[in-house]
């Protein structure tokens, strides 16, 4: 006989573990499935922005974050073609610092919190099908772990990242790719800052950036990510962009005596909330499965946890009312939009309307000279404000616009 649960969560990354943790704490009988054995690695920059660190702390892991093997950052150094922006973390309700923690450990810790709250976890168990009655209501999940398993439930949360478990036209196409590698002994400045490189190579035909994020244990996470549009326009691959990034003057110097810990690993992302469907009858999508990755920074761990926390609240509400309809679950979507749509829509518009980020060089240069605008730019990057908040700095924007116009006039004269 199939086992029965109040909710089945597919995928035990940050989104799935957060959903399972909050749902179990609210008294629901929770099953959490993952196709992998934990602890498992997930290619990531490992950066936890202040809002993400707040989510991790809310799950009872504040002391764990403070352990010295994790990096703790208090600011950003942004290197562009012509500008250098150095900015401490703008203070918000979430504090003035963030962390860098290997996903292998972060995800295992979040999962541990879910199971200690009462969620049942099955590893090496791949969800293969969402089961619905002939009337269309979700009735359960079919899964495989060497044999075929069936779990009965009226409510499923898909937290399977870029996996495609919940077909039903829910998934938006991936629009970016990124690659990262660990190095020991990276010898750069300001190890308590996140270093972000908006290079000419990655931005002359699209959008992308490279990074160096220091852990606290002598290692650094080094990586690069570009939009799939960049790959198409340049006819290059991600490996080519990453290898070229390691040749940037700063990287050559910093990595001179550094040892790679293993080969680089790549993964894909869907940046920006738009294009995805996040609920239907008996189903909610969280984290990357619900396109919750920030459209500019590519940051998704905090949003995965946040969406899992909200999905769990709606799961509790659905059970309390005995109502698993799309109408009820649309409340989850509305709440997410209220929380995040401004940043996502404006960031998505910026990245999609500007044909290449190199055009924004005059903006970076203007922000370099204006501390208030620089702070807003960084707040936009870390998801604390919509990028259109730069409109609060009209003089700097006017200077940037002048720069863009003279740059364009210069290039047409040269042509
Ligand atoms: C190179 C790179 C760098 C990044 N850097 C950062 C960063 O610095 N900071 C940040 O916040 N974000 C970063 N991101 C984004 C971040 O990694 C994701 O947003 C985050 O992993 C989303 O978590 P999730 O729980 O939604 O999905 P995931 O972490 O992908 O977890 C999904 C889980 O589902 C499981 N699964 C999949 N299919 C099935 C199935 N059918 N049945 C059962 N289990 C299944 C998988 O095994 C996996 O464990 C980066 C992404 C990349 C690619």
Q: Report pLDDT for 164.
A: 85
Distance of CA 125 to the CA centre of its chain: 24
Q: Report pLDDT for 92.
A: 82
Q: Could you tell me what percent of the chain has a pLDDT over 90?
A: 83
Strand partners, 127: 143
Distance CA 381, CA 390 (A): 12
Helices marked H in 9-124 — which ranges? 14-25, 50-56, 62-65, 103-116
Distance in Å, CA 175 to ligand 1 centroid: 15
Q: Residue 415: is its pLDDT beyond 70?
A: no
Helices marked H in 322-393 — which ranges? 326-353, 361-369, 371-381
Instruction: Output the pTM of the full model.
Output: 0.96
Q: Report pLDDT for 184.
A: 98
| 351 — pLDDT class (breaks 50, 70, 90) | confident
Average the pLDDT over 203-224 and give the result: 96
Q: Report pLDDT for 229.
A: 93
Indicate if ligand 1 lies below 6 Å from the C-beta of 223.
yes
Instruction: Kindly report, residue by residue over 7-47, the tens digit of the pLDDT.
Output: 999 999 999 999 999 999 999 999 999 999 999 999 999 99
Distance in Å, CA 333 to ligand 1 centroid: 20
Residue owning the nearest CA to atom 19 of ligand 1: 300
Determine how many CB atoms are found less than 10 A away from the CB of residue 47.
Answer: 25
Q: Report pLDDT for 1.
A: 66
Indicate if ligand 1 lies below 6 Å from the C-beta of 178.
yes
Instruction: Kindly report, residue by residue over 261-319, the tens digit of the pLDDT.
Output: 999 999 999 998 888 899 999 999 999 999 999 999 999 999 999 999 999 999 999 99
Domains annotated on the chain, with CATH: 3-46+102-173+271-347 (3.50.50.60), 176-268 (3.30.9.10), 354-414 (no CATH)
> Nearest to residue 155, comparing CAs of 312, 369, 362, 348?
312
Ligand 1 probe mutation, 98, 149, 160, 212, most atoms within 8 A of CB: 160
DSSP state of 68: T
Q: Report pLDDT for 172.
A: 75
Query: Residue 219 phi/psi, 5° resolution?
Result: -105, 160
Q: Residue 388: is its pLDDT beyond 80?
A: yes
Find which of 9-23, 170-184, 342-356 is predicted with most confidence, using mean pLDDT. 9-23
Please provide the average confidence, as pLDDT, over all residues in the chain. 94
Cβ distance 71 to 215 under 8 Å? yes
Position in ligand 1 atom list of the atom nearest CA 287: 26
């Amino acid at each position: 006989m199939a086992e029965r649960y109040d909710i089945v969560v597919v995928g035990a990354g940050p989104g799935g573990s957060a959903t399972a943790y909050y749902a179990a704490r609210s008294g629901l009988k929770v099953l959490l499935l993952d196709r992998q054995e934990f602890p498992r690695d997930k290619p990531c920059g490992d950066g936890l922005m202040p809002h993400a660190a707040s989510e991790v702390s809310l799950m009872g892991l504040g002391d764990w974050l403070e352990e010295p093997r994790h990096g703790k950052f208090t600011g950003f150094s942004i290197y562009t073609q012509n500008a250098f922006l150095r900015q401490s973390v703008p203070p918000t309700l979430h504090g003035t610092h963030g962390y860098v923690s290997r996903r292998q450990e972060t995800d295992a810790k979040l999962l541990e919190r879910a199971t200690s709250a009462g969620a049942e976890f099955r590893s090496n168990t791949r969800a293969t099908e969402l089961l619905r009655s002939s009337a269309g209501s979700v009735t359960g999940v079919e899964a495989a772990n060497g044999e075929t398993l069936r779990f009965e439930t009226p409510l499923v949360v898909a937290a399977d990242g870029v996996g495609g478990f919940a077909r039903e036209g829910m998934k938006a196409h991936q629009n970016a790719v990124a690659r990262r590698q660990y190095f020991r002994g990276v010898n750069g400045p300001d190890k308590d800052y996140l270093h972000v490189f908006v290079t000419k190579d990655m931005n002359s035909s699209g959008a992308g950036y490279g990074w160096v994020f220091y852990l606290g244990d002598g290692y650094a996470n080094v990586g690069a990510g570009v939009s799939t549009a960049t790959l198409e326009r340049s006819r290059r691959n991600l490996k080519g962009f990453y290898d070229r990034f390691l040749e940037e003057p700063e990287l050559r110097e910093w990595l001179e005596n550094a040892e790679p810990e293993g080969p680089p690993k790549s993964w894909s992302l869907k940046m920006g909330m738009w294009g995805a469907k996040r609920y239907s009858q008996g189903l909610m999508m969280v984290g990357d499965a619900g396109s919750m990755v920030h459209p500019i920074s590519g940051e998704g761990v905090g949003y995965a946890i946040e969406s899992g926390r909200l999905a769990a609240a709606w799961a509790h509400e659905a059970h309390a009312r005995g109502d698993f309809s799309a109408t009820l679950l649309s409340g989850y979507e509305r709440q997410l939009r209220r929380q995040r749509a401004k940043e996502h829509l404006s960031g998505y518009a910026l990245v999609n309307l500007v044909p290449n980020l190199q055009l924004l060089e005059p903006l970076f240069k203007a922000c370099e000279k204006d501390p208030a605008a620089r702070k807003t730019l960084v707040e936009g990057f870390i998801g604390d404000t919509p990028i259109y908040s730069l409109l609060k700095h009209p003089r700097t924007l006017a200077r940037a616009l002048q720069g863009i116009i003279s740059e364009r006039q210069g290039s047409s004269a040269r042509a």
